[in-house]
Structure formats: structure tokens, C-alpha cells
Amino acid sequence: MVTGLEHYEGLVGAIAYEFSRKFHMVEVADLRQELWLWFLTHPKKVHAWESLDDKQAVKLISKSLRNAAKDFCQKEKARIVGYHVDDNYYYDRQVLEILLPAVFRGDNVAPSMIDLGFTSTRKVASEGGNWFAMMSDIDKALKKLPDEQYNILYLRFVDSLDNAHMASELQISDDAARMRVNRAVNSLLNLLGGSRPRKERDYTDAETTNNIGDGAESIGESEDEVTIQELD
């Protein structure tokens, strides 16, 4: 255990156990070691967040530990199974938001990457069947969403409602509408495999400041209070 961080013992143990259940090939002990290593390799982040109130610090640290556990498990799975984690395709938010209207409408014609807003150096989306595979992936993931999140995405990407109009439609605040859209998109990304594993490195001072300012939204906020929820 990292000296001086004993009060995180329960948090580390809980996250290690949770991810060992999801990734059966990864031992709890290895996960615990990786999470304690995270504290050693991210001293600036830990120090900055511990300067906040205890509740907020735990929430932010918990989110980062869960990301670290997910990244470690994905890499360990790739190593054991015999592939490279970079071989996996990871949907990013930009691509997902571009494709969602077509998925909802059931479009069968694959546009070029230029039509989708990418540069001419990108390949045609339909090449190799990528367009239809992506459409199928997203459609299957959409069907796994709770009805509320499915409807939120429909309002945004089919009815094209902005935050203000969505807030009026749902009789909630603009901020609440924005947060619900973000949570729904994040949930969909998670069902599609989550974000690409990041390289282990400490955050710059600017990133740390931004993360503190944006911490509530990145963890998965509610309209009334910030709650920790899985984003992987």
C-alpha cells in the first residue's frame, strides 16, 4: 500500500474486485497493485483533488481509478488472448454523433467520409463493409439503453432539438437537458466498448485544472447532485 493513502484502501479493494469480476483473466491482487501504482504516478492530480472537500476528492479519484482499472484489464486481456489492444476499434463521440441520425432513420446508403465531415484523405465509409458494421453495432447498443436515454438521443439526433428546446419539451432546465444528453451518449459509447485505453502519464497542470472544473460532468452527474457511475 502507498504510505499516507490508507484511507483509500476500501475504494481500491472495491474497484479491483469489480473489474476482476468483469475480466476473469485478471487477478484481484494484480489490479490492486496497478491501482496503488496509479497513486504513485499521478501525484499532481491526487494533490490537487485532495485540496478539495473530501467527498469531491473521492469522487474524482474514484473515476480515475476506474479508468486505470479498465485500461489495465483491456491490455491484460489482449496480452493473454494474443492480440494488441490497438487492434480494437473504438467509437469516438464525434463519429457516434455523426452516425446516430442515420441509425435512427435506418439509412441503407453509405455516404463517403467527406459527406460525414471528414477530410478527403479518409477512406469511403462503406469500404470493407465498415459503414454497415458500424450501423449494426450502434443499433444493437441503442436497443440496450434504458427507454429514457433512448428517447433523449432520439430527441437530439432525429428531432434535432437543442438543449433549450429539449428542456422545454421535458420541462427541465437547460443544464439538466445537457447532462442527460451527455449521460446517454456516454452510456452508448460504453455499450460499444468504451473509450480507447490511454497511455499512462501524469496530467499537466492545465489538464488537472480543467478536470477539477469539469469533474462533475465527467463522472456522470445528476440534476441534483454528482454521483459516481461507471463510464466504461
Confidence of residue 230 (pLDDT cuts 50, 70, 90): very low
pLDDT at 190: 82
pLDDT (mean) for 126-130: 48
Percent of the chain with pLDDT over 90: 35
Question: Contact, 45 vs 203, CB < 8 A?
Answer: yes
Residue 226 pairs in a beta bridge with 221
pLDDT at 132: 74
Confidence of residue 209 (pLDDT cuts 50, 70, 90): very low
Confidence of residue 199 (pLDDT cuts 50, 70, 90): very low
Question: Contact, 211 vs 47, CB < 8 A?
Answer: no
Least confident of 145-149, 175-179, 187-191: 187-191
C-alpha–C-alpha distance, residues 228 and 220, integer Å: 6
pLDDT > 60? residue 162: yes
pLDDT > 50? residue 93: yes
CATH for 93-191, options being 1.10.3720.10, 2.60.40.10, 1.10.10.10, 3.90.25.10: 1.10.10.10
Write the DSSP symbol of residue 226. B
Question: Contact, 59 vs 220, CB < 8 A?
Answer: no
DSSP string across 41-75: H-HHHHHHHHTS-HHHHHHHHHHHHHHHHHHHHHH
Q: What are phi and psi of 226, to 5 degrees?
A: -80, 135
Task: Please enumerate in sequence order all residues whose Cβ is within 8 A of that of 63, keeping only pairs 6 or more positions apart, or say none.
Answer: 215, 218, 219, 228, 231
pLDDT (mean) for 111-125: 48
Q: What is the mean pLDDT of the chain?
A: 75
Confidence of residue 3 (pLDDT cuts 50, 70, 90): low
pLDDT > 70? residue 213: no
Please give the distance of CA 53 from its chain centroid, rounded to a whole number: 25
Question: Contact, 65 vs 15, CB < 8 A?
Answer: yes
pLDDT (mean) for 88-113: 74
pLDDT at 228: 30
* Residue of 7, 101, 15 lying closest to 50 (CA atoms): 7
Question: Contact, 203 vs 211, CB < 8 A?
Answer: yes
The ranges assigned to domains in the chain are 6-87, 93-191
